[in-house]
Structure 1
Amino acid sequence: MSDRVETTPRLAQWRIDSLSPFSYRKSDPFKIGLWNWYLAVGKNKQLFVKLYPEGSSLTREKPPIASLTIKIVSLSAPNRSILIHPGISDKLLKSSDDCVWSVDTLFTGRFIIDVEFLDLKIVPPSGGEPASIWTSYQVAKHTEAVALNSLGRMLTEGIHTDITINVADSSIGAHRAILATRSPVFHSMFYHDLREKELSTINISDMSFDACRAFLNYIYGNFQAEEFMIHRIALLKAADKYDIPDLKEACHESLVEDIDTRNVLERFQVAHLHQLPKLKSSCIRYLVNFGKIYEILKDFNDFMQSADRELIAELFQEVLAAWKGL
C-alpha cells in the first residue's frame, strides 16, 4: 500500500486502495507552499481525515493560515461518488487536531482524498494582517531581495558614494543616507555642522578594514555569515558605539552559543563592558557551575591581574555561593 501523496503547487491527492475497519494510516510528507504536510485517515464507527503541517521550527514561527477544500472520491462506487467538506477558510493550522473531518459514510474499496489549497497565509515578521504566500508575501520577499542586492552593489561597487570611511589601514566609500538611516550617531554627524559633514570623511581608527567591511555589509543588508562570525567582537563594539541595537543583539546571541575554555574570560569582560546580561550569566555558569574555572587556572590568574575589580568581585561572589551550596 502506497502512502505517497501526489501534488501540484496547490493540489494534493492521496490514493488509498483499501482501508480495513478499526485502522489508521498516515501519509508520507508532501510539500505545499512553505511547509511539509501530512494526511491521516482512520476508520472506526466513522471515517475521519486529518490534515496538518509537519511539526518544525518553521511551523512554530510561521504557522500556516489555510483556506482549502477536501473531497473524498470513491473509485469503487458507480460514477465516482464524491463527498465534499463544507470548506475551511483562514484557519490556523498548527497541530494534528486543527483540521479533522469526520464523516458517517464508511467508504469501501479504493478511494482518493483530494485536498485543494485555495490560499495559504502567514503573519508577516513585522506583524499586521496575514499575507498570502502566493501573492503579497512572495512579491514582498522578491522586492526585499532585489532591494538588498541593489544596496549591496552600491557598497561593493562604490556606486555614487558620497563619504569616505578611514579605518586603521585603508578606506572605504559609503553613502551618508544609508548610514544615517541605520544609525542615529551617523545621522547626528551628518545633520549637525560637525567635521564629518564638512570633510565628507569618518575616521574609525579602532577597526580593521575587514571588520569595517563586515560592519558596512551588515548595515547595507549584504550579510555574510562567515565574516560575521570572525568579527563578532568588533561588530559588537561598533554596534554599541553607533547605536545599532539589532546588530548588538545578533552579536550577543551568537557569542552566547559557543563559549569554551579558550574564550570564556574574554567574553566575560566583553559582557561587562557592553552590558550583556545573558552573556555574562552564561560565562559565570560555564566557569562556576560547570567547574571550568579549574581547567584554566593559569589564564584565570592572568585575568585576575588585569580585570576590572568589580567584575572580579562579582565572579567571586558566584564562586562562594556555589561552595556554600555543596
Structure 2
Amino acid sequence: MADCISKVETTTRLVQLRVDSLGTGCYRRSDPFKIGLWNWHILIEKKASLIVRLYPEHCRKEPSPIATFTVRILVRGSDGQRVESKGLIVSDKLLRSSSDDFMWPLEYSVAYGRFLVEIEFHDLKVASSHSGDPHSIWTGEEYLQSRAEVGIARCLSRMLEEGLHTDVTICSATGCVGAHRAILAARSPVFDSMFSHNLMEKQSATVRINDMCLESCRALLSFLYGNLKYPDFRKHRVALVRAAHKYDIVDLKEACESSLVDDIDGSNVLVRLHDAWLYQLKDLKRECLRYLLEFGKVHDLRNEFDAFLQDVDKDLVVELVQEQIKLLKIHGL
C-alpha cells in the first residue's frame, strides 16, 4: 500500500515513532528528523515479518554517518505502562542513504496493534579529514573543529553575498562583483602574486577575467569562499576548470576533472579530450582515449573525429596515433 508519512518525537539523541496500526503489505515512513548533522527517516514495513529500517537522507555536503544506537519496540502492558517488547543494540554501523543498510526483522506478535519504535543514538562518527579514522561528532577536538568550520563557512558566505568590506573588484565579460584580496590570495598563488607585487591589479584593485561571464565568475568566487552549490558547479564546470588551470586552484581543478570524467559520452568526448589536453587533465585525457580507442567509439564518430584532427594541436594528433599503435600491439594486430 502507499507510503504514509508519520510524525516523530525527538530530543537531542532520542527518537520515538508511534504506529497506531499496520496491516500486512503496508508501511509507514517517518517525517525527516534531525540528529547530529543529518536528516533521518524511520521506515516500518509489514511483510513476512515486521521490519524496522533507519537511514539518513542523501547529502553531498556531509559524509555518511557511522552510528551506535539502541532500537526498541515499546508496547503497553496490562497495567498501561510502556514495556520494552524487543530491543537491539547496534554498534559502529555505517549508514548511507540506502534503507537496506540497517534492517531489523521481528515477529508479528512483537508489535501487535499500537506500538512505539524508539531509537536512542549513543554516538555518531564520521571519517576524520586528517587521519581518515572515524571520530565522534559529539565529543572531542574534532567536534569543536567541525563547529568552527561551520561558523567560518557561514561568515565567508555572508562576506561574499552581502559584499561586506570588499577591497577588490572582479570584472568579468558581462559584469563585476566585489571580493576580498586576502581570500583570493589564500586560495590561489596567482592571485597572491597579483596582490603581492606592484602590478596593475594591485594598483587598481581590479582583476579582469574577460574569458568568463558574470554567472561563471560568481560560481568561481563561491567555490573560493566555500559555498558553491552543486547544481551551479555542474552548470559552470567547464568554465571553472579553465579558471582553475589559469589561477592554479588545485582542488577546484581536481573536482572539475572528476566530474567531467563521470559523464563522458559520444556527444562530448572530443570536446573533453581537447579540454584535457589544454588544461593538463591526465585522468580525463586517459578516459577519453579509452572511450575512443579501447571501446572503438572513434568509428562511430568518424566524421566528427576527422574534423577534430584538423583543428587540434599536432602534438595531440601524434599522441592519438601513438595510443592507437600501442593498442594494436596489445591486441597483436
Identity between Structure 1 and Structure 2 (%): 33
Distance 1:170 1:8, change over 3 A: closer
- Match 1:147 to one of 135, 146, 155: 155
Task: Output one character per residue of 1:224-272: Cα deviation in whole Å (capped at 9) or x when no partner.
Answer: 5565445433321211222212211222123223434443222112112
- Match 2:126 to one of 117, 123, 126: 123
Work out the CA distance in 2 between the residues paired with 1:304 and 1:313.
10
- Check conservation: 2:70, 2:90, Cα contact below 8 A: yes
Give, in angstroms, the shift of residue 100 of structure 1. 6.0
Number of the residue aligned with 2:8:
7
- Check conservation: 1:236, 1:248, Cα contact below 8 A: yes
- Check conservation: 2:70, 2:120, Cα contact below 8 A: yes
1:276 corresponds to 2:278: no
Report the 3-state secondary structure (helix = DSSP H, G, I; strand = E; otherwise coil) of the residue aligned with 1:246: helix
Give, in angstroms, the shift of residue 176 of structure 1. 0.6
- Check conservation: 1:167, 1:207, Cα contact below 8 A: yes
Give, in angstroms, the shift of residue 58 of structure 1. 5.7
Give, in angstroms, the shift of residue 150 of structure 1. 0.6
Work out the CA distance in 1 between the residues paired with 2:322 and 2:152.
49
Report the 3-state secondary structure (helix = DSSP H, G, I; strand = E; otherwise coil) of the residue aligned with 1:123: strand
- Structure 2 letter corresponding to 1:92: K
Report the 3-state secondary structure (helix = DSSP H, G, I; strand = E; otherwise coil) of the residue aligned with 1:70: strand
1:239 corresponds to 2:247: no
Counterpart mapping for 1:213-232 below 5 A: 213-223=218-228, 228-232=233-237
How many matched pairs? 310
- Check conservation: 1:151, 1:221, Cα contact below 8 A: no
Report the 3-state secondary structure (helix = DSSP H, G, I; strand = E; otherwise coil) of the residue aligned with 1:28: strand
Gaps of 5+ in 2: none
Task: Output one character per residue of 1:98-157: Cα deviation in whole Å (capped at 9) or x when no partner.
Answer: 786999xx7696563441435563427746632259x989977974664254133244xx
- Structure 1 letter corresponding to 2:124: K
Report the 3-state secondary structure (helix = DSSP H, G, I; strand = E; otherwise coil) of the residue aligned with 2:28: coil
Distance 1:166 1:322, change over 3 A: same
- Match 2:193 to one of 176, 182, 188: 188
Number of the residue aligned with 2:83:
82
- Match 2:64 to one of 57, 62, 65: 62
Task: Output one character per residue of 1:261-318: Cα deviation in whole Å (capped at 9) or x when no partner.
Answer: 4432221121123232321122123322443323333332232234333422332344
- Match 2:264 to one of 255, 259, 267: 259
Q: Which has the larger radius of gyration?
A: 1
Q: TM-score, normalised by structure 2?
A: 0.69
- Structure 2 letter corresponding to 1:63: P
- Structure 1 letter corresponding to 2:136: P
Work out the CA distance in 2 between the residues paired with 1:15 and 1:217.
48
Work out the CA distance in 1 between the residues paired with 2:191 and 2:111.
72
- Match 2:255 to one of 250, 258, 273: 250
- Check conservation: 1:152, 1:222, Cα contact below 8 A: no
Give, in angstroms, the shift of residue 186 of structure 1. 1.6
Farther-moved stretch of structure 1 (236-245 vs 59-68): 59-68
